[in-house]
């Protein structure tokens, strides 16, 4: 399913030494170095910088290291799910879930979904929320994950070659640390954000956030915008540590225990929906049909 030289690569990267990696792998240092050399030759670039103290990852090696663990786990999970399909009944829908793609509202709808189709079952598949993982999953819906619930925009759907069933528009809100001066508010006025550092996802990620950016830059120059590249746990931690304000949504109220989500008195919203393949399976089509009926009722 994957090149097992990646296992050796990860072991060397974690230990920082060919010798230490060989001890943990129960092979000779020469065998470890040979595997790394073969992997580097096949890739066409160096993974490590050799020093008298051991080895360090090159920038390319660091990039591969971040993705390799996911690729290995992805392959292992694929085999496990394939084996389970031999014993389990069909019609199992795999719903992806991560820090910023919560599935609570789908779980709450499951009794109604079962009433419509008792044969349809579901399995929650957790994944680490990184740009690489998000791109891989959305580009290949139907492999390990069939659907993901979350925010989206037309440019995301186009770039990731997938589709979405829109459920509703959710207001964009402010995430603030519990010790922030605005944390006691039930609602925040835009003027409350004057002279505050407001964390906003980089331009081009989703059009709804770009509209917020343009509005603030044009009409509220006293608000300081700080860019970040992706919604992950590090961003939520940074918001809390920096005592900043981050633009998010109410559905993320349980993402970080030290942040509070507060509505903002503006009209900025973002769509939430079920993201899926452009060519969904029959089970996914049935699921989307049922969800549509529930929301229309």
Helices (H), 88-201: 104-116, 131-139, 154-160
Beta bridge partner(s), residue 270: 170
What is the CATH code for 171-268? 3.40.190.290
Residues whose CB is less than 8 angstroms from the CB of residue 293 and which lie 6 or more positions away in sequence, other chains included: 116
Helices (H), the chain: 5-15, 18-25, 29-43, 59-87, 104-116, 131-139, 154-160, 207-219, 233-241, 282-296
Does the domain at 4-86 match CATH 1.10.10.60? Answer given as no
**Among candidates 184, 102, 160, which has minimal Cα distance to 278?**
160
The reported pLDDT for the residue numbered 100 is 85
**Among candidates 68, 272, 42, 239, which has minimal Cα distance to 170?**
272
Beta bridge partner(s), residue 260: 176
Q: Which pLDDT tens digit goes with each residue over 80-139? A: 767 666 655 557 899 999 888 878 878 888 889 988 998 888 889 988 888 888 888 999
Which SS3 state, helix, strand or coil, does residue 240 take? Answer: helix
Residues whose CB is less than 8 angstroms from the CB of residue 134 and which lie 6 or more positions away in sequence, other chains included: 160
d(CA 287, CA 230): 29
Q: What angle do CA 179, 180, 182 make, to 5 degrees?
A: 130
**Among candidates 24, 150, 121, 3, which has minimal Cα distance to 67?**
3
Residues whose CB is less than 8 angstroms from the CB of residue 61 and which lie 6 or more positions away in sequence, other chains included: 13, 46, 47, 48
Which range scores top for mean pLDDT: 5-9, 65-69, 70-74, 259-263?
259-263
What is the CATH code for 92-167+272-296? 3.40.190.10
**Among candidates 20, 73, 12, which has minimal Cα distance to 47?**
12
Domain ranges of the chain: 4-86, 92-167+272-296, 171-268
The reported pLDDT for the residue numbered 86 is 62
End-to-end alpha-carbon separation of the chain, Å?
44
Domains 4-86 and 171-268 share a fold: no
If you write DSSP's letter for every residue of 169-215 in order, what string do you get? EEEEEEEEETTSTTTT-SSB-GGGGTT-EEEEEPTTS-HHHHHHHHH
Which SS3 state, helix, strand or coil, does residue 43 take? Answer: helix
Q: Which pLDDT tens digit goes with each residue over 142-201? A: 988 999 999 999 999 999 999 999 999 999 999 999 999 999 999 999 999 999 999 999
d(CA 19, CA 9): 13
- DSSP 8-state class, residue 264: B
Indicate if the pLDDT at residue 1 is higher than 80.
no
The reported pLDDT for the residue numbered 250 is 93
Indicate if the pLDDT at residue 18 is higher than 60.
yes
Token pair for 85: 């399909």
Q: Which pLDDT tens digit goes with each residue over 217-250? A: 999 999 999 999 999 889 999 999 999 999 999 9
């Amino acid at each position: 399913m994957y090149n097992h030289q990646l296992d050796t690569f990860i072991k060397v990267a974690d230990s920082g030494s060919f010798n230490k990696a060989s001890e943990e792998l129960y092979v000779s240092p020469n065998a470890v170095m040979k595997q790394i050399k073969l992997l580097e030759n096949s890739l066409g670039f160096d993974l490590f910088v050799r020093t008298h103290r051991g080895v360090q990852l090159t920038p390319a090696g660091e990039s591969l290291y971040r993705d390799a663990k996911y690729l290995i786990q992805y392959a292992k999970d694929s085999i496990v799910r394939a084996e389970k399909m031999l014993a389990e009944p069909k019609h199992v829908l795999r719903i992806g879930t991560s820090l910023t793609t919560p599935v609570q509202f789908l779980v709450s709808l499951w009794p109604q979904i079962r009433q419509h189709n008792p044969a349809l079952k579901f399995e929650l598949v957790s994944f680490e929320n990184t740009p690489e993982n998000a791109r891989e999953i959305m580009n290949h819906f139907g492999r390990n994950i069939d659907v993901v619930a979350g925010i989206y925009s037309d440019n995301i759907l186009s770039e990731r070659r997938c589709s979405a069933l829109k459920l509703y528009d959710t207001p964009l809100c402010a995430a603030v640390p519990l010790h922030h001066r605005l944390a006691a508010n039930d609602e925040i006025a835009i003027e409350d954000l004057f002279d505050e550092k407001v964390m906003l996802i980089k331009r081009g990620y989703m059009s709804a956030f770009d509209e917020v950016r343009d509005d603030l830059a044009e009409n509220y120059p006293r608000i300081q915008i700080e860019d970040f590249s992706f919604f992950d746990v590090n961003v939520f931690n940074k918001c809390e540590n920096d005592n900043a304000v981050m633009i998010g949504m109410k559905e993320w109220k349980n993402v970080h225990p030290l942040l509070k989500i507060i509505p903002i008195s503006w009209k900025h919203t973002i769509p939430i929906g079920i993201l899926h393949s452009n060519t969904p399976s029959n089970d996914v089509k049935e699921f989307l049909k049922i969800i549509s009926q529930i929301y229309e009722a």
